[in-house]
Structure 1
Amino acid sequence: MATIDPRTEIKEFLSSRRARITPEQAGLPAYGGNRRVKGLRREEVALLAGVSVDYYVRMERGGLAGTSDEVLDALAAALHLDEAERDHLFHLARQSRAPRRRRPAATVRPALQQVLDAITEAPAWICNGRYDVLAANHLARALYSPVLADPRRPANTARFVYLAPETASTFFVDYDRIARDVAAKLRMEAGRNPHDEGLIALVGELSTRSELFRQRWASQDVRLHRSGHKRLHHPVVGRLDLDVETMELPAEPGLLLNVYTAPAGTAAADGLALLASWAASQAENTKPGSPGR
C-alpha cells in the first residue's frame, strides 16, 4: 500500500454505510421485490439528507471538499452513523478541504516518562494512533511482556494481534473483539491522518501478511479509543480482568495514555500485586552482579 487515498476512503466508507441500511430501516417505502442494490439507493440517501442526487453522487465519489458541516450532519443522520462513524466522516471531509501532513510524535518527552514512573500501582503506557508502544512504566512492561517480546521497536500492538495470532489469542481473552477493534481504530486513524507514513507502512504490512486483517480492514468499520474493560491471560500471573482508562494528552496531539486498574479486593487486584512482585524480581535479577548474571 503506497498511500491512503482520502477520495477512495470516502467512496468506500459511504457506499458501505449505505449498503447496510434497508428502506424499511430508513422509514422509506420499498417498491418492488427485486432491488438491484444492497441497502439504500443513492437517490434515497439524497432524499433523506435533503440534497440533490447529483450532489450526493459527487460526495460518494470522494468529493467532500466544500461540503458544509450541516450537510455532513444530515448525511450522518441519513446513514444512521454512530459517534465514531460521524467523527470519521468529518475527518475525511477535513482532509478533502485542506489536507494536513501532521507528523505524530515518535518519542515521549522525559516529563511524561516521569509521570508514568510515578504511577506505581497500575500498568500505564503511552501509544499513538497506530498502536506503537512509545513509553511504559514497569508494571505495563511486565503486563505487556508478550507484546514487547517482539524485538522491533517501537513494539506495536496491532502487529502483535495480527502477526502473532496464536500468542495474541491466548493473551487477549476476547481476541476476536480485540482484532475487530484494532482494525477499526486504525481505520479511524487513517481518516484522521492519511499521510502518516508509519501508518501507511503498517497497514500495508498487515494487509500483506494477515488475511484476517484484510477482512477487518475491508469492513470499513471505525471505532473511537475509549475507556472500557479488558480481559487478559498473562503467562505468569494468569487471568486479569482490568478496567482501562484511555486519555488523550492535549499537549501531545495524537498520543494516548492508557491506565489499567482493578477494584480493591478482587482477584484482578491480587493478580496485579503478584505481577508487581514478579516485575520487581525480574528487575533485581537483571542487575549487574545478581545471581545468574
Structure 2
Amino acid sequence: MNNRNEIREFLASRRAKLTPEQAGLPDFGGVRRVPGLRRGEVALLAGMSVEYYTRVERGSLAGVSDSVLEAIARALQLNEAENEHLFNLARAAGPAARRRRQPAQAIHPSVQLILDGMAGIPAFVQNGRLDIVAANDLARALYSPAYEDPARPVNFARFAFLNRRSESLYADWNLAADTSVALLHAEAGRDPFDKGLSDLIGELSTRSEEFRRRWAQRNVRLHRTGAKTFQHPAVGRLDLHFNGLELTATPGLTMFTYTAEPGSPSADGLRLLASWAATAAESSERPPENAVPDERTAPDGTTAVDLHQGHVRQPGRGHQA
C-alpha cells in the first residue's frame, strides 16, 4: 500500500464530507468546485497555516506531533475509528513502520481449546486481513456457505464479494460488505506494508466493482461489538450479538463470539445448529468443510421447519409450541 496516497485520499475524503455549516463556519455562497471544506478552512479550524495543512494532506505525516493530529481530527470531526486511523497512518509514515512483524496466521493450542469449550456459542479467531485463523464447530456450521469453498483460509472479504452465497447468508449484505471494506481500510492504516493484505485488496479490486466502489469511499470503522443477522440455509433467521476480544499474547488476532437473546427463536436456532454440529464432529466430519448439511433434523427430532414455525422439542416431552 502507498502510505502517502492513503493519507491524501483519507483526509481529502473526510474534508469532502463536512460542510461549512457543519463545521460552524460562515458560508458566503458561491459555487464550490469540490464538495465539503476547502483546505484553508480546515487549516483555520485546526489552528495552522494553509501551507502546513496542505503538506500534511499531501501525505507528509512523518514527524507530525500528536497535538497536530488531534487538531486535524477535531477540525474534520473524525469519529473514534477515523481518529485511530489517522494516528495509525502517521505511525506507518515513521521510519520504524517497515519493521512491524507479519500478522499471525496461527494460534496457541490453548486458544483452540477455549474455542472448542464454548460448545453452544459460535466462536472464531480472525486476523486483520479478515482470515478465519481458527474456529469451533458451531462457528463453522454458522458460516457453512463460506466453508463450501475449498480455498483456505476462509476470508470474510472474499466471501462477501466473490461468493454469491454471502448474499443469502447475510440478511443485510450491504452492511456486511461495507464493514468488510472498512475493516480492511483500517488494517491498511495499521500495516500498509503487509504484502498479503495488499495482494488481497488488489485481487478484490480487480474482481469486484462493488469492492472498488466501496474502497474509494475511504471509510473505516471499529468492530468490537454489535448485532448481526443471518439467514442460515439450515435453521433460518438468526439475530445474534457479537463481541470481539483482542488476543494480547498474539497481536493482530481477535476472538469473536456470537450469542443470542436467551429464550428467543435465535437461541433455539443456535441449539439446533449446535446439535447438528456436534453430530457431525462425533462422526469426524467437522461442520461443514465442503457443503451445507442436507440433513435438517437434530438428534432430538427438531427440524428446521419446526424452528421456523416456533416449535422446539424438549427432552422427554412431545412437540410443543
TM-score band, normalised by shorter chain: over 0.9
Q: Counterparts of 1:146-165 in structure 2 under 5 Å?
A: 146-164=145-163
Give the total of aligned pairs.
283
1:97 and 2:83 matched: no
How far has the Cα of 1:285 moved from its partner? Answer: 4.4
How far has the Cα of 1:97 moved from its partner? Answer: 1.8
1:279 and 2:277 matched: yes
1:82 and 2:79 matched: yes
User: TM-score, normalization: structure 1?
Assistant: 0.94
How far has the Cα of 1:263 moved from its partner? Answer: 2.1
Whole-angstrom CA distance in 1 between matches of 2:263 and 2:279: 23
How far has the Cα of 1:168 moved from its partner? Answer: 0.5
Describe the superposition over 1:49-107 as per-residue Cα deviations: whole angstroms up to 9, x where unpaired.
00111100100000011111111011001001000000000000011123233311011
For the residue of structure 1 that corresponds to 2:242, the secondary structure is strand
User: TM-score, normalization: structure 2?
Assistant: 0.86
How far has the Cα of 1:207 moved from its partner? Answer: 0.3
Whole-angstrom CA distance in 2 between matches of 1:33 and 1:41: 13
Whole-angstrom CA distance in 2 between matches of 1:90 and 1:224: 14
Which range moved further: 14-23 or 99-108? 99-108
Q: Counterparts of 1:144-183 in structure 2 under 5 Å?
A: 144-164=143-163, 166-183=164-181
Whole-angstrom CA distance in 2 between matches of 1:107 and 1:5: 27
Matching residue's letter, 1:130: R
Match of 1:196 in 2: 194
Describe the superposition over 1:164-207 as per-residue Cα deviations: whole angstroms up to 9, x where unpaired.
1x310110001111101110110000000111111111101100
Which range moved further: 187-196 or 26-35? 26-35
For the residue of structure 1 that corresponds to 2:93, the secondary structure is helix
Match of 1:119 in 2: 118
Q: Which runs of 5+ in 1 are unaligned?
A: 288-293
1:69 and 2:96 matched: no
Contact 1:123 1:143 survives alignment (8 Å): yes
For the residue of structure 1 that corresponds to 2:10, the secondary structure is helix
Which range moved further: 4-13 or 100-109? 100-109
Q: Which runs of 5+ in 2 are unaligned?
A: 286-321
Whole-angstrom CA distance in 2 between matches of 1:284 and 1:9: 49
1:58 and 2:64 matched: no
Contact 1:123 1:260 survives alignment (8 Å): yes
Contact 1:102 1:195 survives alignment (8 Å): no
Which range moved further: 102-111 or 210-219? 102-111
Match of 1:248 in 2: 246
For the residue of structure 2 that corresponds to 1:131, the secondary structure is coil
Instruction: Report which of the two structures shows the higher radius of gyration computed on alpha carbons.
Output: 2
Matching residue's letter, 2:186: M
Match of 2:132 in 1: 133
Match of 2:141 in 1: 142
